[in-house]
A and B are shown apart, each in its own frame.
Chain A
Amino acid sequence: MWSKRDPPAVLGDFEQLVLFAAMRLGDEGYGASIQREIAHCTGRDVSLNAVYTTLDRMEAKGLIRSWTGEPTPQRGGRRKKHYALLPSGRAVLRRMYRTFQGITAGLEQELRKP
């Protein structure tokens, strides 16, 4: 039986984006950098608010962890809230990625058609 503690079987589109961005950034993932990474990789201009809400939810689901960094002068002497993937989050992303690969395998030619 599924419980709240179990990692979710399916993630939403935006949740995937946030988690993949966090994975790419490793230990350097925080609100602004994740937002920037998503914009850089996908061209989507997402709001900080949406990133915070998703990170908060993913943390509550046990997919990522957070810690507070050191203050930096670029941020007016303010600290960052860092996020990094937990093994459960990594497992969910792996499953999602494989699912995606499986369903899209052999469709490259088809997808190139107008």
Chain B
Amino acid sequence: MSSLPRLIVLLLRMRVPEAWLEFVLGDLEEGMIQRGGSSREARRWAWWQAIRIVVRPPRDRAATRVRVRPDFRHFHGALGDLRYACRGLARSRWYTATAVGVVALSTSLGTAVFAMVDGVLFDEPPYARPAELYVLNGGFHKLPDLVMPSVSTPDVTAWSAVAGPALSVTRMRLGGGVPISDNEYLRSGEIDDRFFDVLGIRPLFGGFEDGDFHDAGRVRPALITWRVWHQRFHADPRVIGRTLMDSKGSGLRVSGVLAEDFVYPHPAGVVAPEMLVPIRPPSPAAAQNPQVRWLHVVGRLSPGTSLADLVPRLDAAAARVASTFPPVDSTEPLSPARQITRGPFDRVIVRPLGAVLTESTRSVAGAVFGAFGALLLLASLNLAGLAAGRALDRRRELALRRALGATGRRVVRLLLVEHALVIFAGAVLGVAAARPLLDLSMSLAPDGLMLLKSPAIDVRAIVFTVIAAAVSLLTTTCWSARASTSVTERSALSEGGATTERGRSRVRMVLISGQIAAALVLVIIGVLFSASLMRAWAEDTGFSRSNTARLRVHPGSSFGVPAITELLDAIEAMPGVIAAGGLNEPFLERAITGSAFDAPAGALPLDADVENLAVTSGFFGAAGLRLIQGRLPTRAEFDGGQPVVVVSRTVAEAYWPHEPALGKVLRKRKQAYEVIAVVDDARYRALDAEPGGEIYSSIADQPGLANVIVALDGNASRRLAEIVTMIGTRFPRVRVARAETMDQALSASIQRRRFHTWLFAGLGGAGLAIAAVGIVGLVGMSTSQRTREVGVRMALGATRRRVVQQMLTEQLWPLAIGLVSGGILAGWALRFLQEYAYKLSIYDPGIWMAAMLVIAGAAAIGSLAPVIRATRVDPVSALRAE
């Protein structure tokens, strides 16, 4: 009985010519017997020999000599096709490198983009039956677009009562920081006892007990997030019962850990909490006051309940609450819109939770995904162009094969294998590059970015990549197969490739125009975002940007004015520090704390909130605020707590529109404060947020320190490091959370804008590069096919300049068609991105002109290089070329 493995026999039967097969099998059998028959070593030897023979089988010379039909053995098996394709690609290195590069670039961007937007656009929120979940908000018929984020306890009680079992609601709110040491806090989300039941989720382990929701102690039971569990507790499973608190006894006791995919059901753009604690009203009285809106409400609609039936009942409940609503003080100088929002709700707005969660992310995620779609189209057109060009270059070879008996199907199969190889290689490279690209993108992502799941190159992303690659493969193969099989054997063999077919130039025009159009859309969007970022960056902040720095500090709760003064004096005494000032408010963190000062009678309404900033006297000098009128407060006045204030220009003009603000009096809780100076407006919330108006009062009124502003002399980074070291040594209780130059702080304040710009400018840049490569390839292909024509022209006396001019003029049509169609597409697409343009119109002529010039420049460079190369040939050798 034969000891040769059957599979070896089968493989050899497929590959080895009949004339050799018997001898080869016999030799293998004999060799195996010599090595011990079916021993492991013998089998290994046989397999090794068989593989070598399969890869390079012996040839049948006799058959070669008498052959009447061509040997298309390579076409018969997939392995043969693969070998043929590999050889063909190895011969055309430029084509292979370009095509693989284009696929790799588009795949890496596509995979990274999909991983980012998957949670927002395609995946469901991580709750049970998420389609049944809704967010309930109050609204006003007179302001149909306004959705009030929070509601009061009486509102929720009334809404729940009318809905009955049709709607189960849970109440929550974003709480403040809960101390875990003297200068560290965790952001909390407060939830009621129905939270997990309504959302249909469970913690990873642990949970609240009934008593936790009535516990008013200083140490609060908390469910920490998976990330906090890992970062702070190193994923210790015995974490339950651990207590973290400050020296005053306030803190938290770990009651459980939330699941890794937990998403706090709050509208996007808000930094997610790091733990959940049982909800507590601001005060017992506030809990019953319809004017105190402090809750967010999520409800689950019972199966079979219609939203259309429920909403009118909820509106009726809102009307009942309105009847008990206290009258609104209409004497306050508020804009009409703000007067309305101070009043009772007259309608209830019910929106699907999934849509609310991704509200601010969805449009940009959709736009990014759309932009990627344009890039994929561009890459497909590009590949199709390159492949069609290659097929046309090889049309004589392919036609010869067909003439010798290869069917059209076999030729298409060969092209398919070749393109599959290119796309596979590019996709593998692209997926490998997607991970670092995704990490880089996420490092630039803003804190409050709601993605519903952590971006990762997971199975979904890989499946998406495979689908995108399959689409590219199909497009590319169809196009090149059409190009190669549409040329008849006779025409391909007889024409000699010397003339240009009209159809071929039409195809080229479509490919070039399509690429220009897709690239233009991407570039215009990229330029719009870049211009918006630059415009925001160039805004006047109102305070000094150069040689200024900010330290975000957490000094603990009992850090009074003397301690603040001591800290600031110590900083000021350091070499290289010109001035230091303290601020007990958020700075460049997009937060508004409002003002307790009463507006004077006769004040003009302001749309934005006036901010009351508690500062030290050194703040004005350190921040470099521009003084407009009056004098800045002395140390004795401000740090000593005298009743004086400084107001910004907007406040001065709105509060006292017809007279100077100096010497006027502002009241806060019946205490009178004299205005001693007016300073210029400043952007404290963010670089791209308009100043709302500020009232600067003494830090003695609201003791505490959140930010230290330092004016430095020279090397800011080194000086900052020295300051942090000094604080760590001399003031160990003060934790410095961030120390950054003003430019870094300003840059961080427009993190979201920077992130969007990075995404769109990246896609635009990639689109431009792909289009330029595609144009070089297509124009190069066309010019190389016209070498003979160029030779004839130059032999007949045409100058090089004239030939270049004429060939470039021919590219104007595809350029014009591409620009017009791309412009129309971009005009439509940009309408969805209006909100992201900063003080710019989406139809800004400068932006459009810049984008078109960039595209035209890339097209010109792409066309010029091959055209010049074509005209450099010697006319005599050009005529001999075919």
Contact = CB atoms under 8 A, between A and B. Distances in A.
A3 interface: no
A48 interface: yes
Interface string B760-789: 000000000000000000000000000000
A75 B29 contact: yes
Contact of A30 (B27, B34, B55, B58): B27
B59 A56 contact: yes
A65 interface: no
B53 A78 contact: no
Interface in B1-60: 2, 4, 20, 22-31, 33-34, 48-49, 52-53, 55-59
A47 B24 CA distance: 12
- In this complex, the member of B23, B49, B56 whose beta carbon has the largest number of chain A beta carbons within 10 angstroms is B23
Given A49-B52, A49-B53, A75-B29, A56 B61 contact: yes
A80 to B, nearest CB: 6
A32 B49 CA distance: 11
Contact of B23 (A35, A59, A74, A79): A79
Contacts of A47: 48-49, 52
Contacts of A52: 20, 24, 53, 58
Interface string A81-113: 100000000000000000000000000000000
Contacts of A81: 20, 23
Interface residues of A, number: 22
B20 to A, nearest CB: 7
Contacts, number: 71
B20 A75 contact: no
A77 to B, nearest CB: 9
B25 A48 contact: no
Contacts of A53: 56, 58
B794 to A, nearest CB: 42
Contact of B26 (A50, A59, A79): A79
Interface in A24-69: 30-32, 35-36, 47-50, 52-53, 56, 59-60
Contacts of B27: 30-32, 35, 48, 75, 80
Contacts of A78: 22-23, 25-26, 29
A76 interface: yes
Chain A interface main SS type = helix
Nearest to B52: A49
A36 B34 CA distance: 10
Interface of B: 2, 4, 20, 22-31, 33-34, 48-49, 52-53, 55-59, 61
A76 B2 contact: yes
25 contacts: A30-B23, A30-B27, A32-B28, A32-B30, A32-B34, A35-B31, A49-B49, A49-B56, A49-B57, A52-B20, A52-B24, A52-B53, A53-B56, A53-B58, A56-B58, A59-B61, A72-B26, A74-B29, A75-B26, A75-B27, A75-B29, A76-B4, A76-B25, A76-B29, A81-B20
Given A36-B34, A56-B61, A76-B2, A48 B53 contact: yes
Interface of A: 30-32, 35-36, 47-50, 52-53, 56, 59-60, 72, 74-76, 78-81
Nearest to A82: B23
Contacts of B26: 32, 72, 75-76, 78-80
A49 B31 CA distance: 13
A12 B49 CA distance: 22
- In this complex, the member of A36, A49, A72, A79 whose beta carbon has the largest number of chain B beta carbons within 10 angstroms is A49
Given A48-B28, A48-B52, A31 B23 contact: yes
Nearest to B53: A49
Contacts of B31: 32, 35-36, 48
A67 B122 CA distance: 70
B297 to A, nearest CB: 77
Given A32-B31, A49-B57, A75-B25, 5 more contacts: A36-B34, A48-B49, A49-B55, A49-B56, A80-B23
B29 A60 contact: no
A31 B4 contact: no
Nearest to B16: A52
A49 B28 CA distance: 11
Contacts of A31: 23-24, 27
Nearest to B56: A49
- In this complex, the member of A35, A75, A79, A81 whose beta carbon has the largest number of chain B beta carbons within 10 angstroms is A75
B214 to A, nearest CB: 83
B2 to A, nearest CB: 5
Given A49-B52, A79-B22, A74 B61 contact: no
A75 B1 CA distance: 10
Nearest to B9: A76
A47 B56 CA distance: 11
A109 B2 CA distance: 52
- In this complex, the member of A30, A36, A60, A78 whose beta carbon has the largest number of chain B beta carbons within 10 angstroms is A78
A59 B56 CA distance: 18
Contacts of B55: 49
Contacts of B24: 31, 48, 52
Contacts of A75: 25-27, 29-30
Contacts of B58: 49, 52-53, 56
A40 to B, nearest CB: 11
A79 B29 CA distance: 11
A76 to B, nearest CB: 5
- In this complex, the member of B26, B56, B58 whose beta carbon has the largest number of chain A beta carbons within 10 angstroms is B26
A52 B58 CA distance: 6
A98 to B, nearest CB: 31
Contacts of A72: 26
A18 to B, nearest CB: 14
Given A31-B23, A49-B56, A60-B61, A74 B49 contact: no
A41 B30 CA distance: 19
Contacts of A60: 61
Contacts of B28: 32, 48
Nearest to B21: A78
A6 B57 CA distance: 27
A72 B27 CA distance: 11
Contacts of A35: 27, 31
A35 B49 CA distance: 11
Nearest to A45: B45
B30 to A, nearest CB: 5
Nearest to A59: B61
Given A52-B58, A79-B23, A74 B30 contact: yes
